[in-house]
Amino acid sequence: MASQTTRRNFLGSAAGIAGLSAAGVRPAAAAFEPEPWGIKLGVCTYSVRNFDRAKAIAMIKTLDTPWISIKDVHLKQDEPAAAIEAGAKEFRDAGLRIMSGGNVSMTETDLAGLRKHFEYAKAAGMPMMVCAPLHENLHLIEQLVKEYNIRIAIHNHGPEDKNFPTPQSVLEAVRTLDPRCGLCMDVGHTARTGVDVVEWIVQAGPRLLDMHVKDLADFRSKDSQVDCGAGRMPFPQIFKQLKKMGYKGCVNMEYEINGNDPLPGMQRSFAYMRGVLAGLASA
């Protein structure tokens, strides 16, 4: 495993860089630009799943990042196309950029059944869906990727996932598919399978289309999630590798704890990650 860098010692070395505040708030002029090093720190709206769309938008805006991945709790897939378009417009009118949607379960085994997901993404203006397909329907999903020109990023869900537990399982499945079919690496679930997260970022290469980030105090325990920087996840090494390979996708925080009051922890997590990026950019 790559060497660890703690929240305390890294923020100590990065203190004062780029005028970061304790809450991670940046000057307004910088709010629509990638972070230092060109990394797009984004938000999975699943992080604020216990709140309605209007409140979720207001909460995300306090994080000063425009990049979002929408969970269907905030944009229902079973609504008419016009309602989906109107809901997506609420996010855009607030200055947020819809980079993807998901996680979308894709368990249908016929084109007609799968098509509804792509119609949903089309209505919402999603260029990509983070998804959980089956091995046996990937050839059908690939057909729809080509037809709609909407990418899919298969999400690995850790040891409990019978279909795609690891980045390796996803990469093997998409190896011969259209390049718009790739991986959404969840670093927490990846670490729980006992592999080196940074090494699998290297292995994913151009098939790495999206990322979900979180931190764990114990890589053996799904229930040990903590704020980013308070656990064992090697964020500096992760960011270094993403920079080295010219990664253009998002690094989306998926904050799964403190569901009724997630914002303080999300703010601390963004402050930590921005501190890491500022320190790396100034080195």
pLDDT of residue 18: 37
Given a cut of 50, is residue 9 above it in pLDDT?
no
Residue 23: which pLDDT band, with cuts at 50, 70 and 90? very low
Given a cut of 60, is residue 65 above it in pLDDT?
yes
Does residue 29 contact residue 59 with C-beta atoms inside 8 Å?
no
Given a cut of 50, is residue 117 above it in pLDDT?
yes
pLDDT of residue 225: 98
Mean pLDDT on 261-282: 96
Given a cut of 70, is residue 180 above it in pLDDT?
yes
Tens of pLDDT along 118-176?
999 999 999 999 999 999 999 999 999 999 999 999 999 999 999 999 999 999 999 99
pLDDT of residue 11: 45
pLDDT of residue 32: 56
Report the CATH fold assignment for 36-282.
TIM Barrel (3.20.20)
Residue 34: which pLDDT band, with cuts at 50, 70 and 90? confident
pTM score of the predicted model: 0.89
Given a cut of 70, is residue 58 above it in pLDDT?
yes
